[in-house]
Every structure is written in structure tokens, then in C-alpha cells.
Amino acid sequence: MVAVLSCTVTTVRPTNDTRPLLTRDGSYTVRNDALDVFYHSVHGAIQESTHVFIKAGLEQVPKSKMDVLEVGLGTGLNLLLTWIRCWEGKCTVRYTALEPYPLSHAMLEQLDHCNELAWPGLHTPFMERMASTDTEWAEELGGLSFRKLPTFVQEFDECEAYDLVYYDAFAPRAQPELWTAEAFTRMHNALRPGGVLVTYCAKGEVRRAMLAAGFSVERLPGPVGKREMFRATKN
């Protein structure tokens, strides 16, 4: 039986005090000055997302058709990298993103991720999906179906619906409530048996929270500028 959890949602709302920032691989991320957080590694936004979520996550799921859940849609970079692989015929994905506080349309235009990745033709459908407030599934395009939910992790209660979780929340010091055993129990419940969760984080307390939630956890080499990352599996 899947445990049903109750909790008080205390997630800190990101402020509008944000600005684009050029990272070392030439791609842009966002810095929130008020919270003192970056949406990606300053060593390289595209480099980090590709290493953590695509190479260690998407490419390790032994399915050609899969359901992906992202916690922290942010700039949409993980979505876009996944979508490109769908267009390339490598997989078919149903993609659900949790994002209570989406970035503004103006900020997403400044980041211009589609041109950064040399896929300018995806700009319009990408922006439509990122800006939509509809929680229903957007029309399938290029092998990817997408929906965005304004749901907090602490309220998410889907069961055995996903093969892969991109856990891309702000770091524990900024949003500690998203890195607890309770939060990871919800992710464990949401995954099918054998499902995988990947995150850039490699803190000891996060590993202990994952283990308490029932995951098997492995440390992997991190992206440039970070020694390690975690991949957790539901046995």
C-alpha cells in the first residue's frame, strides 16, 4: 500500500529579483539575487543539465517510451534537452513538470535556450508550453507530450506513474523542505518499480533522506565544477 502523507507547505516563493547570467560554457542561466541561488551551474548551464539529467538519467532508462516527472521546471532547459532527443527519434516522452512559480515570458525570451541549442524552430512551441497556464496535456509534438502543474512537491500524490524523475529544485540551503525524507517518499511513490531519480545534489543529509524513503542511492561523478551527484533507484 502506498503511504499518503500530510504536511504543511512551506516552500519559499522565489522573488522577481532575477536576472540572466552567462555561464562558462556560453549558455545562460538565471540568478535570483534575493534568494542567492542560480538555476544552473555557473560552470555551464547546458553542460550541467546534459550531464545530470540526460546522460545520467534519460539515457539510462531502458525504455523507448517513458513518463518523466520534473521537479523545478525553471528555465525549461531540461525539458528542451529531452524534447530534442525525442525529435531525434531516440525516445518518446510524456513529460510532467511541477512549477508553482514559473519564470516570466520576458525572462525566457532573454535566455533564448532554443537558439543556444541550435534548434530555433522549437522556439515558438517551446515558449507556448512554458507560458501556458493550462494544466491539461499540450498536443504531442516531435515525440513529446507536455503538461505543467502548479503543484508543490509536498502536495504531489501520484502513484507508480513515472519512469524517471528530474529532481532539479533549488539547493537544500534555499529550500530545505524539498530535500526531506517526506518529499522523497512522494517521489518514491510516484515512480514505477525500477524507476530512477537523478539530481545534481550530493549532500550527505540528502542521501540519508533518500535512503529513508526507500531508494537505493549511488554517487556518480558530477558535472564540471562539482565532484559528485546522486542517482536513486526504486527497487
Which H or E run includes 79?
Answer: helix 77-87
pLDDT per position as a tens digit, 120-160: 999 999 999 999 999 999 999 999 999 999 999 999 999 99
Q: Is 54 helix (H, G, I), strand (E, B) or coil?
A: helix
pLDDT band at 41 (very low <50, low <70, confident <90, very high): very high
Taking CA 1 as the corner, what is the angle to CA 56 and CA 198, rounded to the nearest 5 degrees? 10
C-alpha cell at 75: 528555465
Is it the case that residue 15 has pLDDT exceeding 90? no
Amino acid identity, residue 167?
Answer: Y
Return the beta strands (E) in the chain as ranges.
18-22, 28-32, 37-38, 65-71, 92-98, 144-149, 162-167, 191-199, 216-221, 228-233
What average pLDDT is seen over the chain? 92
143 or 13, which is more confident?
Answer: 143
pLDDT per position as a tens digit, 22-33: 999 999 999 998
Q: What is the distance between the alpha carbons of residues 181 and 43, in angstroms, rounded to a whole number?
A: 29
For every residue of 63-74, DSSP letters joined together read -SEEEEEEE--T
Sign of CA dihedral 29, 31, 32, 35: positive
- The pLDDT value given to residue 34: 83
Task: Summarize the confidence of residues 181-185 as an average pLDDT.
Answer: 98
Domains of the chain plus CATH, in order, are 45-233 (3.40.50.150)
pTM: 0.92
